[in-house]
Chain A
Amino acid sequence: MTVELILFFLLAAVALGGAINLIVQTHPIHSALSLIVVMVALAGIYLLLGAELLAMVQIIVYAGAIMVLFVFTIMLLNAGKEERTAISRAATYVGVPCGVLLTAVLAWRMVLSEAGASASGAETQGMSRELSGMLFTSYVFPFELTSILILVAILGAVVLAKREM
Chain B
Amino acid sequence: MSDFVASYAGLLIALVKVIVVMLVLLTVVAYLSWFERKVVAHIQSRWGPERVGPHGLIQPLADGAKFLFKEDPTPAGVDPFVYVFAPFLALSLAMTTIAVMPLGPGTLKIFGQTTSFSVAESNLSLLVVFAISALSVYGVALGGWASNNKYSLLGGLRSSAQMLSYELSLTMSVVGIVLVTNTLSLREIVEAQRGTVLGFLPRWFVFPQIVGFVCFFISAVAETNRSPFDLAEGEQELVGGFHTEYASFKFAMFFMAEYAAMVTVSFMVSVLFFGGYLSPFPDSPAFHWTFYLPAALALIGGALLVPHGLRYHTAFGRVLLPVMGVALVGVGIVCAQRGVLGVIQGPFWLAAKVFVVLFIYVWLRSTFPRIRYDQLMDFGWKFLLPVSLANVLVTSLVVALRMQR
| A contact residues around B376 at 8 Å (CB) | none
B135 touches A124 (CB 8 A): no
B124 touches A53 (CB 8 A): yes
Q: Is the C-beta of A56 less than 8 angstroms from some C-beta in chain B?
A: yes
| A contact residues around B127 at 8 Å (CB) | 53, 56-57, 60
B164: nearest chain-A partner, CB-CB: A68
Q: In the complex, what's the smallest C-beta–C-beta distance from B130 to chain A, in angstroms?
A: 6
B185 touches A71 (CB 8 A): no
A68 touches B137 (CB 8 A): yes
| B contact residues around A78 at 8 Å (CB) | 153
B146: nearest chain-A partner, CB-CB: A29
Q: In the complex, what's the smallest C-beta–C-beta distance from B109 to chain A, in angstroms?
A: 25
Which of B154-162, B231-239, B303-311, B351-359 makes up part of the contact surface?
B154-162
B129: nearest chain-A partner, CB-CB: A56
Q: Is the C-beta of A76 less than 8 angstroms from some C-beta in chain B?
A: yes
Q: Which 9 A-B pairs have the closest CB atoms?
A: A64-B134, A125-B123, A56-B127, A59-B131, A124-B123, A60-B131, A60-B134, A56-B131, A75-B145
Chain A residues 12 to 32 lying within 8 A of chain B, measured CB to CB, are: 27, 29-30
| B contact residues around A64 at 8 Å (CB) | 131, 134-135, 137
Q: Measured between alpha carbons, how far is A71 from B82 in the docked complex, in Å?
A: 13
* 0/1 interface trace, chain B 45-68, chain A, CB 8 Å (1 if under): 000000000000000000000000
Residue contacts A-B, CB under 8 angstroms, 21 given: A27-B79, A29-B82, A29-B145, A33-B82, A36-B138, A57-B127, A59-B131, A59-B135, A60-B134, A63-B135, A69-B164, A72-B157, A72-B160, A72-B161, A75-B141, A78-B153, A124-B123, A125-B184, A125-B185, A128-B123, A129-B182
Give the number of chain A interface residues (Cβ < 8 Å).
Answer: 26
Q: Is the C-beta of A65 less than 8 angstroms from some C-beta in chain B?
A: yes
Among A60, A69, A76, A124, contact of B157 (Cβ-Cβ < 8 Å): A76
B183: nearest chain-A partner, CB-CB: A125
Q: Measured between alpha carbons, how far is A59 from B132 in the docked complex, in Å?
A: 8
Q: Measured between alpha carbons, how far is A30 from B82 in the docked complex, in Å?
A: 8
Q: Measured between alpha carbons, how far is A65 from B134 in the docked complex, in Å?
A: 7
Q: In the complex, what's the smallest C-beta–C-beta distance from B297 to chain A, in angstroms?
A: 37
Number of A-B contacts (CB under 8 A): 74
Q: Is the C-beta of B18 less than 8 angstroms from some C-beta in chain A?
A: no
Interface-central residue, B157, B160, B161, by most chain A CB under 10 Å: B160
B141 touches A68 (CB 8 A): yes
| B contact residues around A60 at 8 Å (CB) | 127, 130-131, 134
B124 touches A128 (CB 8 A): yes
| Residue ranges of B at the interface with A (Cβ–Cβ < 8 Å) | 79, 81-82, 122-124, 127-128, 130-131, 134-135, 137-138, 141-142, 144-145, 153, 156-157, 160-161, 164, 182-185
Contacts A68-B164, A71-B145 known; 20 new A-B pairs at CB < 8 A: A33-B142, A40-B135, A52-B123, A53-B127, A56-B124, A56-B131, A57-B127, A60-B127, A60-B134, A63-B134, A63-B135, A64-B134, A64-B137, A68-B134, A75-B145, A75-B157, A76-B157, A124-B124, A125-B184, A129-B182
Q: In the complex, what's the smallest C-beta–C-beta distance from B148 to chain A, in angstroms?
A: 11
A61: nearest chain-B partner, CB-CB: B134
Interface-central residue, B123, B142, B144, B183, by most chain A CB under 10 Å: B123
Q: In the complex, what's the smallest C-beta–C-beta distance from B146 to chain A, in angstroms?
A: 8
Among B138, B153, B185, contact of A68 (Cβ-Cβ < 8 Å): B138
* 0/1 interface trace, chain A 128-159, chain B, CB 8 Å (1 if under): 11000000000000000000000000000000
Contact (A52, B124) CB under 8 Å given A33-B82, A71-B138, A72-B141: yes
Q: Measured between alpha carbons, how far is A53 from B82 in the docked complex, in Å?
A: 30
| B contact residues around A57 at 8 Å (CB) | 127
| A contact residues around B153 at 8 Å (CB) | 75, 78
Q: Measured between alpha carbons, how far is A59 from B138 in the docked complex, in Å?
A: 13
Q: Measured between alpha carbons, how far is A52 from B124 in the docked complex, in Å?
A: 7
| A contact residues around B141 at 8 Å (CB) | 68, 71-72, 75
Among B134, B157, B185, contact of A59 (Cβ-Cβ < 8 Å): B134
A78: nearest chain-B partner, CB-CB: B153
Q: In the complex, what's the smallest C-beta–C-beta distance from B210 to chain A, in angstroms?
A: 26
Contact (A56, B123) CB under 8 Å given A29-B145, A68-B164, A125-B185: no
| B contact residues around A75 at 8 Å (CB) | 141, 144-145, 153, 156-157, 160
Q: Measured between alpha carbons, how far is A124 from B125 in the docked complex, in Å?
A: 11
Q: Measured between alpha carbons, how far is A60 from B170 in the docked complex, in Å?
A: 13
Q: In the complex, what's the smallest C-beta–C-beta distance from B316 to chain A, in angstroms?
A: 48
Q: Measured between alpha carbons, how far is A53 from B184 in the docked complex, in Å?
A: 10
A129: nearest chain-B partner, CB-CB: B182
Q: Measured between alpha carbons, how far is A63 from B184 in the docked complex, in Å?
A: 21
Q: In the complex, what's the smallest C-beta–C-beta distance from B152 to chain A, in angstroms?
A: 11
| B contact residues around A124 at 8 Å (CB) | 123-124
